[in-house]
Amino acid sequence: MSARHDLAELVRRAESGRAGPPDPRWAALTVDAARARRAAVLMLFGILDDVPAESDKPLAPADLDVLLLERAHTLGSHPGQVAFPGGTIDRGETPVAAALREAEEETGLDSEGVEVLGTLQDLGLAHSNFLVTPVLGWWHSPSPVRVVDYAESSQVFRIPVRDLLDPDNRVMATVHRAGRTFDSPAFTVNGVVVWGFTGIVLSGLFDQLGWSVPWDRNRLHPIGA
């Protein structure tokens, strides 16, 4: 089976209610839907330009990557965090239209090359009071991407899924806020740490797809508050 087939099948299971119980950390991503602002993110997977060398680790798929960006460190909300392209849903917009528009505005993406596979369950960002719709996409005709506005993003990049799945790159991010400690699945790849909302969503997605391999959840990576 191909990666695209796996992703499309997950959407079909989600739409039919057969996706199985949500990841416990996904279930914790809740807000008051009646008061929250609506947003959408594009989870865009595509084939790597260059297939990486063979590895002796049982990781799959070997030729897939995902589009991410690093938010500007000067932003008032979630500064410096790695995120999916996305943002607020404008009045009259669908989540799909908003995710594609935001991806174009943030990364210069040509959305004509994106096949929208569907949407997954809405997830809450309590810190900023957003209810976020993940839009799952397949990049059948990849286009060049870049930082469009450095006031919004510091870098835009494609990370191989093989690197994200590598147990050597998986940690539990820990952050201390308001006298409490929060931990969540995270990834340390190519000099960046993918944690928080994005780390939780990717980790849960890989689990649901059956792509995850065992990793050491006792490896802690402190995050500055």
177 or 70, higher pLDDT: 70
Q: Measured between alpha carbons, how far is 206 from 164 in angstroms, rounded to an integer?
A: 10
Mean pLDDT estimate for the chain: 88
> What is the mean pLDDT of the segment spanning 87-102?
97
Q: Over the stretch 2-22, which tens digit does the pLDDT of each residue have?
A: 889 999 999 999 888 776 656
Per-residue pLDDT band at 33 (split at 50, 70, 90): confident
Per-residue pLDDT band at 130 (split at 50, 70, 90): confident
Q: pTM of the predicted model, to two decimals?
A: 0.89
> What is the mean pLDDT of the segment spanning 74-95?
90
Q: Measured between alpha carbons, how far is 176 from 100 in angstroms, rounded to an integer?
A: 34
Quick check: 139 and 188 in contact, CB under 8 A? no
Per-residue pLDDT band at 36 (split at 50, 70, 90): confident
pLDDT, position 78: 75
The label of the residue with tokens 């792509």 reads: 211
Percent of the chain past pLDDT 90, that is, above it, reads 64
Q: Say whether domain 3-162 belongs to CATH 1.10.3720.10.
A: no
Q: Over the stretch 57-66, which tens digit does the pLDDT of each residue have?
A: 445 566 899 9
Backbone angles phi, psi at 38, to 5 degrees: -95, 140
Secondary structure percentages of the chain, helix, strand, coil, to 5: 25, 35, 40
